[in-house]
C-alpha cells in the first residue's frame, strides 16, 4: 500500500511539474532532459531471450527489443551506442521502471489493462504481436487444437500460459492432462521424449524451439489456433507524456520507413528524394524532430544506424524460424500500422 501511495505521489509531482511546460509550444520532457544531461539512455531489457534481448558471444546486446533501445538512443543522441542495458528479471522489471532505475522498459512485456493503469506504466506501442499456441508431432495427425481431447500437454507453471491453457480447454469443453515442468529446457526435453502429446507456450517460443531444438523441424507442426493475445511492447513511466511520445514515434518511424521503402542501405541516397513523405520522415522538410524535442534528423539516424522495422525483424527474429505473420505491415496483411508522420 505504501509503495502505491509513493508511486501516485511521485506521478502527481511529475504531472504537476510538467504542467507549465505543456503550455509552451516546444515543451521539454524531464526524462529527456535527464537523459541528455547524463549522456546515455538507461534501458531495461531481457538478458535471456534470443531474438529479443541477449548478449552474444562478444558480450554485445542484440535483439528486437534491444533495437528499440538503440533506435531511441539514435533519435536522441544521433548515436545508437549511447545505451546502458540493465538486465531485468520478470519480477524486477516494473520496479526498475517505477523507481527510475531505467528510462525505458523493453523486455517482451505484454500490454494489459492492469499494467497500463495500476502499475503506473504507459505502453507506447506494440513491437511484436505474440500469442499462445500449441506444437505437436506431425505423426499424431492433429490439425487443430480442438482435436487435442484427452491429450497430455507440457506447460510451464506460474505463468499466464498455464492459466490460458486451462481457460481455453474449459471454454471448449475438452479434457486434457497438464504436465507441469518448471524449466523451459526440461519442458522441451519432455515433449521431445514423448512424455506429452503437445507443448504450449507463445508462438514465437514454439517457432524457435522447432527451429533450434528438434532434430527434424519438419516433423513438428504448430497448430493454427492462437489462444491468447500477447502484444509485447515498450513502456515508460506515467507522468511524462512527452517522453512517451518520443518512444512511440521512434517505433512508428521504423514502421513508416519500412512502408516507404527506406532502408539503412538507401537512406543516404533518399535524402535528395522529391517524395514529400520521404522528405518529412528524413527531416528534410517539416521540422518533425523539433516537435518531438529532438533533432530534425532523428528518423534518419534511426534508419541509418538501426534500420527499419523489417531490417530489425530479419536480423533478430527470422533466424529463430519465425515468420512475419501478424507482425507484417498492414499493407501486407499484418497488424503493424504507423499513423502518418506529418
Partner 1 sequence: MANANAAAMDAAGGIGESKLMAWVRANLFSSWANTALTLVVFYVVAKAVFFFGSWGIFNAVWIGTSAECRAAKGVGACWALFPEKWRFILFATYPFDEQWRPALSSAIFIGLYFFSAMRANWNLRLPIAWIAGLGTISVLMWGGVLGLSFVPQERWGGLVLTLILSTFGLALAFPLAILLALGRRSHMPVIKSMCVVYIELIRGVPLISLLFMASVMFPLFLPEGVSIDKLLRAQIAIIMFAGAYLAEVVRGGLQALPKGQYEAADALGLSYWQATMMIVLPQALRLVIPPMVNTFIGLFKDTSLVLIIGLLDILNAAKVAVADPQWRGFGPEAYFGVSLIYFVFCFAMSKYSQRIEVELNRNKHR
The binding site for partner 1 (CB under 8 A) comprises: 3, 6-7, 10, 13-14, 34, 47-51, 54-61, 84-89, 91-92, 95-96, 98-101, 185, 188, 208, 211-213, 215, 319-320
Q: What gap in Å lies between CA 228 and CA 341, rounded to an integer?
A: 31
**All three cell numbers of 254:** 521504423
Smaller CB separation from partner 1, 26 or 58: 58
Query: Which segments of the chain does DSSP mark as H helices, in order?
Result: 2-23, 30-38, 64-77, 93-98, 113-117, 160-171, 184-192, 203-212, 241-259, 267-270, 276-281, 288-292, 298-305, 309-316
Nearest Cα neighbor of 206 from 272, 135, 148, 143 is 135
How far apart are the two ends of the chain, measured CA to CA in Å? 44
Residues 202, 228: Cα–Cα separation, whole Å: 9
Q: Which is nearer to partner 1, 160 or 214 (CB)?
A: 214
Residue 146 sits at φ, ψ, to 5 deg, of -70, -15
Within 10 A of 112 (CB to CB), how many other CB atoms are there?
Answer: 15
CB 195 within 8 A of CB 179: yes
- What nine digits make up the cell of 257? 520507413
Burial profile 285-305: b = 16 or more Cβ within 10 angstroms, e = fewer: ebebbeebbbbbbbbbbbbbb
Please name the residues in contact with 122: beta carbons below 8 A apart, sequence gap of 6 or more.
116, 235, 236, 237, 238, 241, 244
Beta strands 121-123 and 235-237 are antiparallel
Q: What are phi and psi of 85, to 5 degrees?
A: -95, 140
Cα–Cα dist 141/80, whole Å? 48
Bridge partners (DSSP) listed for residue 84? 42
Amino acid at each position: 500500500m505504501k509503495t502505491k501511495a509513493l508511486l501516485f505521489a511521485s506521478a502527481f509531482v511529475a504531472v504537476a511539474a510538467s504542467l507549465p511546460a505543456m503550455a509552451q509550444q516546444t515543451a521539454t520532457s524531464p526524462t529527456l532532459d535527464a537523459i541528455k544531461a547524463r549522456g546515455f539512455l538507461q534501458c531495461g531489457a531481457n538478458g535471456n531471450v534470443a531474438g529479443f534481448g541477449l548478449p552474444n558471444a562478444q558480450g554485445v546486446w542484440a535483439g528486437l527489443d534491444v533495437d528499440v533501445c538503440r533506435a531511441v538512443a539514435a533519435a536522441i543522441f544521433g548515436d545508437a551506442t549511447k545505451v546502458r542495458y540493465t538486465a531485468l528479471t520478470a519480477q524486477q522489471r516494473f520496479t526498475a521502471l517505477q523507481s527510475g532505475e531505467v528510462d525505458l522498459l523493453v523486455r517482451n512485456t505484454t500490454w494489459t489493462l492492469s499494467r497500463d493503469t495500476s502499475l503506473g506504466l504507459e505502453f507506447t506501442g506494440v513491437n511484436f504481436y505474440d500469442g499462445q499456441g500449441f506444437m505437436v508431432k506431425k505423426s499424431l495427425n492433429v490439425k487443430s487444437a480442438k482435436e487435442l481431447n484427452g491429450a497430455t500437454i507440457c506447460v510451464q507453471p506460474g505463468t499466464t500460459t498455464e492459466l490460458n491453457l486451462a481457460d481455453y480447454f474449459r471454454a471448449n469443453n475438452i479434457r486434457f492432462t497438464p504436465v507441469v515442468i518448471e524449466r523451459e529446457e526440461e519442458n522441451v526435453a519432455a515433449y521431445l521424449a514423448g512424455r506429452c502429446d503437445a507443448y504450449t507456450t507463445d508462438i514465437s517460443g514454439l517457432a524457435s524451439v522447432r527451429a533450434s531444438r528438434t532434430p527434424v523441424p519438419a516433423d513438428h507442426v504448430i497448430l493454427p489456433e492462437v489462444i491468447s493475445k500477447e502484444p509485447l511492447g515498450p513502456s515508460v513511466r506515467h507522468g511524462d507524456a512527452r517522453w512517451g511520445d518520443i518512444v512511440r514515434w521512434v517505433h512508428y518511424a521504423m514502421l513508416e520507413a519500412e512502408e516507404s521503402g527506406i532502408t539503412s542501405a538507401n537512406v543516404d541516397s533518399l535524402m535528395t528524394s522529391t517524395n514529400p513523405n520521404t522528405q518529412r520522415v528524413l527531416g528534410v522538410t517539416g521540422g518533425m524532430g523539433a516537435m518531438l524535442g529532438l533533432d530534425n534528423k532523428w528518423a534518419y539516424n534511426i534508419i541509418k544506424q538501426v534500420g527499419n522495422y523489417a531490417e530489425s525483424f530479419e536480423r533478430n527474429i527470422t533466424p529463430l524460424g519465425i515468420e512475419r505473420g501478424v507482425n507484417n505491415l498492414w499493407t501486407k496483411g499484418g497488424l503493424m500500422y504507423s499513423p502518418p508522420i506529418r
